[in-house]
Structure 1
């Protein structure tokens, strides 16, 4: 148990049997009336974002969320298999929990898996990953200086927009939150 005065971004609350992550909070002390805390909460399991207001000093139940460093091993057809890097225990995480992170998961890649009571909740990838372009149309002569983009398929099969001058086989840095091209990587 904690009070609303203890709220921090990223803290996970257990409200009415559901887990909510604190995205944003603001302590408000109006000139008239009691103080309160205005929050923006994101549902851990469904991703739904809601605004909720609490009275200052109100006791709220926090959830114990264990964030573990894990390594992605492979997809076995029923889900994604991860290995805990501390004790080498393997778990299978379903497609719906992995979600869009699957677009940027390569075998052997590190990720943080959030667990609650032994059940995986969500996966945190690094903010950017290095991927190789497996297929893209060649850039046309004269297009090399313009700011245009073209579609390119990366190693995982996900399609991103890249500058016209990039070719198949080029390694690029990709933002895992938005899927945006961040730059070319030289080996």
Structure 2
């Protein structure tokens, strides 16, 4: 589906220069002289390259429609992750780098969304928030109330996050997977 250069939004998948690109950021600019344009930061879904491109309103670009399918994470074997299709129970093995930093939050039996382009998986989306247990939390420093004070803590999966002072080891919390931030108590 062709769209105008000014209709590009973050999260769109574009077919640009014979590659699949995911839009990360956009900035609409109207210079005093000349026409307006959209400055677009994109990441290649195949090899991970990043680029910045200017699209004018007269430019058109192909927007790709991806199929999403529900899968369940089963296990890891080195750098390979195995997922099961929840409809027909077929298993698929994918490289861990397809998830990026979110791979640390993957839990056994977790439901994930695979984005497919022409039946080929190109990305894996975890739930936005997960529940995790604090295994180690620093002690509260008294008198540190001038600003909202947070302290470092380590989750059961080894990830470090900042938590409020009242959270202690053994507490189950909700964590934002992609921002790596404390959301609330579980």
Q: What is the TM-score when the length of structure 1 is the normalising length?
A: 0.77
Specify the SS of the correspondent of 1:101: helix
Query: In the alignment, is the contact (CA less than 8 A) between 1:101 and 1:123 conserved in 2?
Result: no
Query: In the alignment, is the contact (CA less than 8 A) between 2:99 and 2:125 conserved in 1?
Result: no
Q: Distance in 2 between matches of 1:80 and 1:107?
A: 11
Determine the structure 1 residue equivalent to 2:153. 151
After superposition, the C-alpha distances for 1:19-75 in whole angstroms (9 at most, x for unaligned) are 112234466677865564443323324555433122334342333422222221111
Instruction: Give the Å deviation of 1:173.
Output: 0.8
Q: Distance in 1 between matches of 2:89 and 2:98?
A: 21
Q: Distance in 1 between matches of 2:33 and 2:166?
A: 61
Determine the structure 2 residue equivalent to 1:68. 69
Instruction: Give the Å deviation of 1:94.
Output: 0.7
Q: Distance in 1 between matches of 2:144 and 2:33?
A: 60
Determine the structure 2 residue equivalent to 1:125. 126
Q: Distance in 2 between matches of 1:30 and 1:171?
A: 50
Which 5+ residue runs of structure 1 have no aligned equivalent?
Answer: none
Q: Distance in 2 between matches of 1:75 and 1:83?
A: 12
Instruction: Give the Å deviation of 1:106.
Output: 0.7
1:112 paired to 2:113: yes
1:4 paired to 2:4: yes
Q: Distance in 1 between matches of 2:82 and 2:8?
A: 33
Specify the SS of the correspondent of 1:108: coil
Instruction: Give the Å deviation of 1:12.
Output: 0.9
After superposition, the C-alpha distances for 1:119-144 in whole angstroms (9 at most, x for unaligned) are 322222222111122x215746x859
Query: In the alignment, is the contact (CA less than 8 A) between 2:105 and 2:157 conserved in 1?
Result: yes
Number of matched residues?
A: 182
Instruction: Give the Å deviation of 1:104.
Output: 0.9
